[in-house]
Chains A and B, each alone.
Chain A
Amino acid sequence: MAKPKIASDWLAGCAGCHMSLLDIDERIAIVAELADIRATPITDLKEPDESGVDVGILEGAVNLTTNEEVAHRMRKRCKILVALGDCAVFGGVLTHRNICGTEEALKRAYIETESTDDSGKIPSDPELGVPTDVRAVHEVVDVDIWIPGCPPDPDTIFYALSELAQGRKPDIKGDKLHWH
């Protein structure tokens, strides 16, 4: 049997969950042995295989049309989708802007900041994604496994990856389950 393929990507996050993933240290070799690590934001291959992967991992919240596309692409190309970290699971820190509204937040950031002169304007370009309200990943696409934590413990990440690589569903509870 071929090794299961794992791919990851990030949305609106701080990359901390991927840092925590790297914090599994030498155990990454075990994961690489058990699974075929495909595209990730920290390796050369950036997009999950069109032919599909077994496990897709998403870090970060959805706060932009571009992120929506990334989330949909990952969902389409993976069998099991994992939401990794508080932003992917709950929306995280970014959801603060939902309270004042995205429009207000953009105005404050690009026009009203004390260091901005009269020429301040909200960036808009067909090349750029359009900011939206901040959502958890499961508000945009179906999620199969949630691993909360800011960031989740490397031990929890290693446990989840090794379970997934061996075709089992990780059970995130007890010591492995924490928010914040």
Chain B
Amino acid sequence: MVQLTIDGKQIEVQEGITVIKAAKQAGIKIPALCGHPNLTPYGGCRLCVVEIEGMRTLQTACTLPVSNNMVVRTNTELLHESRKFILSMLFSERNHYCMYCQVSGGECELQNAALAEGMDHWPLQPNWVNFPVDSSHPYFVLDHNRCILCRRCVRACAEITGNFTLATENRGAQTMIIADYNVPLGESSCVSCGNCVQICPTGALIDRQSAYRGLAPDADHIPSTCVGCSVGCSVDLIVRDNQLLRVNGDYQGVVNKGAMCELGRFVPIFSKNTRLHTPMVKKNGSLKAASWEEAFSVINSKLKGNKSVAALVSTRLSAEALYAFKKIFIDHLGSSMVTSIEEHIPTAGLDQVIEAGLEANLNDLNEADTIIALGADLFRSHQVAGFIIKRNLPKGVRLAVIDVGENMMAERADLVIQPKPGTDYDLLMGLAGKKSFEEVAKTSYVSEKAFKELQKLIAEAKRPIFVYGKGITFQEGKKNEKSPLKALIELAKTVQGKLFSPKGKANSLAGHAYGLDKMFTAEGCDVVYMALGDDEASQNLMQRLENVPFLIVQASYDSKLTAKADVVLPVNIWAEEEGHYLNLEGRLQETKAGLTAPEGVLPNVQVFEAIAKALGASLDGNWKSDLEKYIRE
């Protein structure tokens, strides 16, 4: 700990932190534009300058580490003059037309800084040089006229996303933010995570959808959890007049530290799905609007005492909803075909990994020096977990990808191996030293060179993590002798590695805990109940539901599936419901209702309650007890 004085206030702070952070701890705000708590210090804009006793010149508080007995002044005439001068230069460099900028009036950090300094005019007028506007991206626009070259976006792209798409070219006043080798954003390697848009201090990067629909300071902010996948990012729902303006990452979020991906940030805002507003019942071959009473009475007549009901639920629904679903269909009706729409694939064999004490969490993933991905593509399916790997690769983390098909991680991998499908067991046993290379090669067709390289990569690793996905767990479900997960556990034990499973949808793990873990078949069922919520059913599943005698669908959106249902029940979407989610590392998190559901639409749990009541089923019990075994933290 070091002692220092800021504006006459004596404080004690941790050694090595910057002056701006120390000031923040003391409740003193130092303005900053290029600096951001979630990025490494840059020291580019010089707005955060402070006076340090004994130092000849003004110092940037965002880069200067504290030292013992330091005396800092943040509020002197000289500093205000200096800050005003910096701001004058920033405003004169490009074209800051505040009057038609979307973020003017509270959301622009540049304007806010100027107003805080009491700037009532620009001492230096702009040069009126036209800068281009890049509107090639489907989700956001980059207006170079409003850019102050703080490089927050460049750093966010590198340090938060690890994508390294954004960069700068030229120098000085000619500097431009570019994507890749100066291609339009829409044609670049951008992964549309929008982390640059959220962090931009001005209106240079703005999303297309929320522009002019309201400023964040005037809107409601609802802290919630993203249900796009099992990572479970902490989010800030920005809502105005019951419209979701934006979904921002929570910079304090334990799981994501502000990072978001396309699925969490933009898909909820840009999706053009049609909401269902009323229950529907099929009459004379076509769906007709019906009352909830009528729909429930039809369902009741189909379900009551019926043993041949198959039921499917989306693991995007809350733990409360999954529990009620289980109580009705497994405990009360005793149906033999009750499962989730993921059909247990992402969590198959999970318990043996947990029992072996080998399960890794996101922090382990972050600290790994070698990552071996097997049948998993985190860059596609669980992108924020993928960002952890991406941003660590330039620090020397090694990546090997073993997958039978296309895998986005392969592009950045040190080693890519494509074994013959279904031969992972042999390959892994070979790596664990339980099979000779000749035996491995016989089935998997892996070359000796690749095998040796992979062996070497694993042997050299100090903290290896094996990321295994559906490519591996899919084989688990087949119950053959050659369980690749068993071989993987064997291998991990020999090299002191850990296993990381991204699982699947937001509540995959909870679904597993509730025993919703069967491969689905509609055979022998006369009624199928599908609780889809705001999720989508896969093509494969839809095909298997093709010839179901009677189909009940509980869904938020109109789809091919609801079109062929016999009864349709309209329900809330995630942003309209409260509930609990067990993320991939066993962290129990909550979603909060940011929006009010349209009239006539019910929450998922309420639909289950009504059905339970009609059937005389009991929903008593605690949804949490089944999860205890999997809750970490």
Q: B-contacting residues of A (Cβ < 8 Å)?
A: 83, 86, 89-93, 95-96, 98-100, 133, 135-136, 138-139, 143, 146-148, 150, 172-173, 177-180
How would residues 109 to 147 of chain B score, 1 for a CB under 8 Å from any chain A CB and 0 otherwise?
Answer: 001001100101110011011100000000000000000
Q: Chain B residues with Cβ under 8 A from A91's Cβ?
A: 125
A161 to B114, CA, bound (A): 24
Q: Chain B residues with Cβ under 8 A from A135's Cβ?
A: 125
Find the residue from B111, B114, B128 having the highest chain A CB count within 10 A.
B128
Q: Assuming the A-B contacts A179-B98, A180-B101, are A138 and B121 also in contact, with contact meaning beta carbons closer than 8 angstroms in the complex? A: yes
Contact between A177 and B104, CB atoms less than 8 A apart:
no
Q: A143-B121, A172-B120 are in contact. List 11 more A-B contacts (CB 8 A).
A: A90-B98, A93-B99, A93-B100, A98-B128, A99-B130, A136-B121, A146-B121, A173-B118, A177-B120, A178-B105, A179-B98
Separation in Å of the A67 CB from the closest CB of chain B? 16
Q: Which of B156-176 contact A (CB under 8 A)?
A: none
Q: Chain B residues with Cβ under 8 A from A139's Cβ?
A: 125
A172 to B111, CA, bound (A): 15
A177 to B111, CA, bound (A): 11
Q: Assuming the A-B contacts A99-B95, A180-B105, are A89 and B125 also in contact, with contact meaning beta carbons closer than 8 angstroms in the complex? A: no
Contact between A178 and B115, CB atoms less than 8 A apart:
yes
A128 to B128, CA, bound (A): 26
Q: Assuming the A-B contacts A178-B105, A180-B98, are A148 and B128 also in contact, with contact meaning beta carbons closer than 8 angstroms in the complex? A: no
Nearest to B127 among chain A residues (CB) is A98
Can you list 18 residue pairs at the A/B interface with Cβ under 8 Å?
A86-B99, A92-B99, A93-B100, A95-B97, A99-B95, A99-B128, A99-B129, A99-B130, A136-B125, A172-B120, A173-B120, A177-B115, A177-B118, A179-B98, A179-B99, A180-B98, A180-B105, A180-B111
Find the residue from B105, B114, B115 having the highest chain A CB count within 10 A.
B115
Contact between B101 and A89, CB atoms less than 8 A apart:
no
Nearest to B115 among chain A residues (CB) is A177
A99 to B131, CA, bound (A): 9
Contact between B120 and A95, CB atoms less than 8 A apart:
no
Interface Cβ pair total, 8 Å cutoff = 59
Contact between A179 and B95, CB atoms less than 8 A apart:
no
Q: Is the interface of B mostly helix, strand, loop or mixed?
A: loop
A143 to B115, CA, bound (A): 19
Contact between B104 and A180, CB atoms less than 8 A apart:
yes
Q: A-contacting residues of B (Cβ < 8 Å)?
A: 95, 97-101, 104-105, 111, 114-115, 118, 120-122, 125-126, 128-130
Q: Chain A residues with Cβ under 8 A from B99's Cβ?
A: 86, 92-93, 150, 179-180
Separation in Å of the A160 CB from the closest CB of chain B? 11
Nearest to A89 among chain B residues (CB) is B121
Q: Chain A residues with Cβ under 8 A from B125's Cβ?
A: 90-91, 135-136, 139
A86 to B96, CA, bound (A): 12
Q: Assuming the A-B contacts A179-B104, A180-B105, are A90 and B122 also in contact, with contact meaning beta carbons closer than 8 angstroms in the complex? A: yes
Nearest to A137 among chain B residues (CB) is B121
Q: Chain A residues with Cβ under 8 A from B101's Cβ?
A: 180
Nearest to A133 among chain B residues (CB) is B128
Nearest to A93 among chain B residues (CB) is B99
A136 to B120, CA, bound (A): 13
Separation in Å of the A31 CB from the closest CB of chain B? 21
Q: Chain A residues with Cβ under 8 A from B118's Cβ?
A: 172-173, 177
Q: Chain A residues with Cβ under 8 A from B120's Cβ?
A: 89, 146-148, 172-173, 177
A178 to B111, CA, bound (A): 9
Contact between A95 and B128, CB atoms less than 8 A apart:
yes
Separation in Å of the A147 CB from the closest CB of chain B? 7
A173 to B121, CA, bound (A): 12
A138 to B122, CA, bound (A): 9
Separation in Å of the A76 CB from the closest CB of chain B? 21
A167 to B518, CA, bound (A): 84
Q: Assuming the A-B contacts A99-B95, A99-B128, A180-B99, are A90 and B115 also in contact, with contact meaning beta carbons closer than 8 angstroms in the complex? A: no
A138 to B125, CA, bound (A): 10
Closest CB pairs A-B (n = 7): A98-B128, A146-B120, A146-B121, A180-B104, A173-B118, A180-B98, A180-B99
A162 to B315, CA, bound (A): 65
Q: Chain B residues with Cβ under 8 A from A173's Cβ?
A: 118, 120
Q: Chain A residues with Cβ under 8 A from B121's Cβ?
A: 83, 89-90, 136, 138, 143, 146, 148
A83 to B121, CA, bound (A): 10
Nearest to A150 among chain B residues (CB) is B99
Q: Chain B residues with Cβ under 8 A from A95's Cβ?
A: 97, 126, 128
Q: Chain A residues with Cβ under 8 A from B95's Cβ?
A: 99
Separation in Å of the A60 CB from the closest CB of chain B? 14
A86 to B118, CA, bound (A): 15
Q: Chain A residues with Cβ under 8 A from B115's Cβ?
A: 177-179
Interchain CB contact (< 8 A) of A179 among B111, B126, B128: B111
Find the residue from A91, A92, A100, A179 having the highest chain B CB count within 10 A.
A179
A143 to B309, CA, bound (A): 82
A109 to B570, CA, bound (A): 54
Nearest to A134 among chain B residues (CB) is B128
A83 to B123, CA, bound (A): 13
Nearest to B119 among chain A residues (CB) is A177
A128 to B108, CA, bound (A): 41
A150 to B101, CA, bound (A): 13
Nearest to B120 among chain A residues (CB) is A146
Nearest to A136 among chain B residues (CB) is B125
Nearest to A173 among chain B residues (CB) is B118
A148 to B99, CA, bound (A): 11
A92 to B96, CA, bound (A): 10
Separation in Å of the B59 CB from the closest CB of chain A? 27
Separation in Å of the A159 CB from the closest CB of chain B? 14
Nearest to A90 among chain B residues (CB) is B122
A87 to B544, CA, bound (A): 66
A30 to B354, CA, bound (A): 79
Q: Chain A residues with Cβ under 8 A from B105's Cβ?
A: 178, 180
Nearest to B129 among chain A residues (CB) is A99
A136 to B118, CA, bound (A): 19
A7 to B279, CA, bound (A): 68
A172 to B129, CA, bound (A): 30
Separation in Å of the A68 CB from the closest CB of chain B? 16
Q: Chain B residues with Cβ under 8 A from A83's Cβ?
A: 121
A95 to B125, CA, bound (A): 11
A135 to B101, CA, bound (A): 20
Nearest to A143 among chain B residues (CB) is B121
A150 to B104, CA, bound (A): 12
A83 to B104, CA, bound (A): 21
A25 to B130, CA, bound (A): 41
A145 to B311, CA, bound (A): 73
Separation in Å of the B598 CB from the closest CB of chain A? 35
Q: Chain A residues with Cβ under 8 A from B129's Cβ?
A: 99
Q: Chain A residues with Cβ under 8 A from B97's Cβ?
A: 93, 95-96
Q: Chain B residues with Cβ under 8 A from A180's Cβ?
A: 98-99, 101, 104-105, 111
A99 to B126, CA, bound (A): 10
Nearest to B91 among chain A residues (CB) is A90
Q: Chain B residues with Cβ under 8 A from A92's Cβ?
A: 99
A35 to B428, CA, bound (A): 92
Find the residue from A83, A143, A173 having the highest chain B CB count within 10 A.
A173
Separation in Å of the A105 CB from the closest CB of chain B? 12
